[in-house]
């Protein structure tokens, strides 16, 4: 019964029968354990897979290398690479030795986290091993990792190396390289690789062509993208969810929401279910166009389908409400996302802070700014400038100085310099002087643009004493940069 439910991807059924087994003291065999872990992980229930695994071990189950590898793979896919390595230590501690599939799962997890150098060190460990040499899947994982990090030369080098080892690249290997080159705008190489695939008897699929279509749109070659789409339709490759999402996204970027919605309707007619990414793309587009009612309808439709909003979904909604001068609704959405277990990022905070500043709700904006800093989030330049400038407008430059003082040195210097130029452009030389003086105390250099803006503002306001004071301070310290 458990195997049947697993094959049909019915997690609730698997869970129910497992609990019934556990209550009777029964445990499954190793093959069934791997099947259960794979299904739970593929369906997004990694924590449940961990619980089942640990429960079985408590009941006397002896996991093998495959069981551990399945669980590490699930953790790596989720991005929980530290947990995966902890599981590796547990496995080795129990006397089991990792195989090439175990290492490949860990390499994938490291690449997903962007830790490409660590992944390559683990890859080299396999290359130097006498027992477990990297296979096609291992090479493909490493090639995809380099492509993701835009290190195409290294990816191409690995392609050559794997062929020298007698390994034949598969569809995923070529697709990873085609995707990497397409994103870089090197479409000639992408087409070369497609031709090479055909020569080796491999047929490009929708994922392969989606990469090229996306690349064509990125280069502004929309006409060529639609021609390619027409051509692959003629050879029997129908657009999939990713194809439609690319097309919807590109039309949204062009502010052609009518055509984007037409594509959504076509997608539904073709029996392709919309996912949260598609809804978020549309919400973001309507948000930019200040069509908050459409955003709300799309959000409600996604909720009715049981989809889970992402941080980007909530951020787009908050941006829409702030553009509509409805900060109350924006704050409600912000608190809702926290209650739903969705963690706000720096863009989420920035959107709400900007909205609050626009409504002159500076105390709340200040609280949020301090909160995001305490959480280790780095506010972007726009957020930093917005809140600092708004406090300066209220003649509360000391508060602006205090808030910016929470930043690391590099963003602090950049923001202070921008703020000085902004204040100078509005003939607020005396206020600018407070920040300029602090900049000289903290930083070793002053860029010439900021210096010129400050001097001109002082001359325009006939405030020659400020010029004299700052010039003397700069000269003594010899802090003028040659930039």
Residues of the chain with pLDDT under 70: 443-444, 473-483
Instruction: Determine, yes or no, domain membership for 249.
Output: no
Give residue 477's pLDDT.
55
Instruction: Determine, yes or no, domain membership for 307.
Output: yes
Q: For the chain, give percent helix, strand, coil, nearest 5.
A: 75, 0, 25
Tell me how far CA of residue 88 lies from CA of 63, 106, 123, in angstroms.
Answer: 12, 9, 16
Structure tokens at 23: 């209550």
Supply the CATH number for residue 305's domain.
1.25.40.10
pLDDT, tens digit, 9 for 90 and up, residues 141-183: 999 999 999 999 999 999 999 999 899 999 999 999 999 999 9
Instruction: Determine, yes or no, domain membership for 282.
Output: yes
- 270-274 contacts at long range (C-beta below 8 A, 24 or more positions apart): 270/238, 270/239, 272/240, 272/241, 272/244, 273/241, 273/305, 274/302, 274/305, 274/307
The kind and range of the H/E element at 39 are: helix 30-42
Instruction: Determine, yes or no, domain membership for 349.
Output: no
Say how many domains are in the chain.
1
The answer to whether the beta carbons of residues 387 and 369 sit under 8 Å apart is yes
Instruction: Determine, yes or no, domain membership for 303.
Output: yes
The answer to whether the beta carbons of residues 95 and 62 sit under 8 Å apart is no
DSSP-H helix ranges across 324-396: 327-339, 346-358, 362-374, 381-393
**Distance from C-alpha of 200 to C-alpha of 168, rounded to nearest angstrom:** 9
**Distance from C-alpha of 337 to C-alpha of 351, rounded to nearest angstrom:** 14
The answer to whether the beta carbons of residues 418 and 455 sit under 8 Å apart is no
What domain range is 311 assigned to? 274-344
pLDDT, tens digit, 9 for 90 and up, residues 280-292: 988 988 898 888 9
**Distance from C-alpha of 281 to C-alpha of 290, rounded to nearest angstrom:** 14
């Amino acid at each position: 019964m458990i195997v049947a439910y697993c094959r049909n991807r019915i997690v609730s059924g698997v869970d129910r029968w497992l609990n019934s087994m556990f209550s009777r003291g029964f445990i499954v065999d190793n093959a069934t354990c791997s099947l259960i872990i794979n299904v739970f992980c593929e369906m997004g229930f990694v924590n449940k897979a961990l619980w089942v695994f640990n429960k079985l071990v408590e009941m006397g189950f002896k996991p093998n290398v495959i069981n551990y590898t399945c669980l590490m793979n699930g953790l790596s896919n989720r991005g929980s690479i530290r947990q995966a390595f902890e599981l590796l230590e547990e496995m080795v501690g129990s006397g089991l030795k990792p195989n090439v599939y175990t290492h490949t799962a860990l390499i994938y997890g490291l690449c997903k986290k962007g830790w490409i150098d660590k992944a390559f060190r683990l890859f080299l460990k396999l290359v130097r091993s006498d027992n477990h040499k990297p296979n096609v899947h291992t090479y493909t994982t490493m090639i995809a990792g380099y492509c993701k990090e835009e290190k195409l030369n290294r990816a191409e080098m690995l392609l050559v190396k794997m062929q020298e080892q007698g390994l034949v690249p598969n569809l995923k290997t070529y697709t990873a390289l085609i995707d990497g080159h397409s994103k870089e705008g090197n479409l000639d190489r992408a087409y070369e690789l497609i031709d090479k695939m055909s020569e080796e008897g491999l047929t490009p699929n929708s994922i392969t062509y989606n990469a090229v279509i996306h690349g064509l749109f990125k280069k502004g070659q929309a006409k060529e993208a639609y021609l390619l789409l027409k051509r692959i339709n003629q050879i029997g490759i129908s657009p999939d969810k990713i194809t439609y999402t690319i097309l919807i996204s590109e039309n949204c970027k062009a502010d052609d929401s009518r055509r984007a919605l037409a594509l959504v309707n076509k997608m539904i007619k073709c029996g392709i279910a919309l996912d949260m990414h598609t809804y978020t793309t549309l919400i973001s587009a309507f948000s930019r166009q200040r069509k908050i009612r459409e955003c709300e309808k799309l959000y409600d439709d996604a909720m009715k389908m049981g989809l889970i909003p992402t941080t980007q979904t909530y951020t787009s909604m908050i941006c829409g409400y702030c553009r509509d001068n409805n900060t109350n609704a924006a704050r409600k959405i912000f608190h809702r996302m926290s209650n739903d277990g969705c963690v706000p990022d720096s863009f989420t905070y920035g959107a709400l802070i900007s909205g609050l500043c626009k409504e002159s709700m500076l105390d709340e904006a200040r609280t949020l700014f301090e909160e995001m800093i305490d959480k280790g989030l780095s506010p972007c330049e726009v957020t930093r400038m917005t809140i600092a400038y708004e406090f300066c407008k209220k003649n509360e430059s000391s508060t602006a100085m205090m808030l910016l003082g929470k930043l690391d040195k590099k963003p602090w210097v950049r923001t202070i310099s921008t703020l000085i130029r902004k204040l100078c452009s509005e003939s607020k030389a005396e206020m600018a002087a407070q920040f300029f003086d602090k900049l000289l105390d903290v930083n070793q250099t002053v860029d010439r643009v900021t210096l010129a803006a400050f001097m001109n503002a002082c001359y325009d306001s006939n405030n020659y004493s400020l010029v004299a004071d700052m010039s003397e301070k700069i000269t003594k310290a010899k802090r003028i940069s040659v930039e």
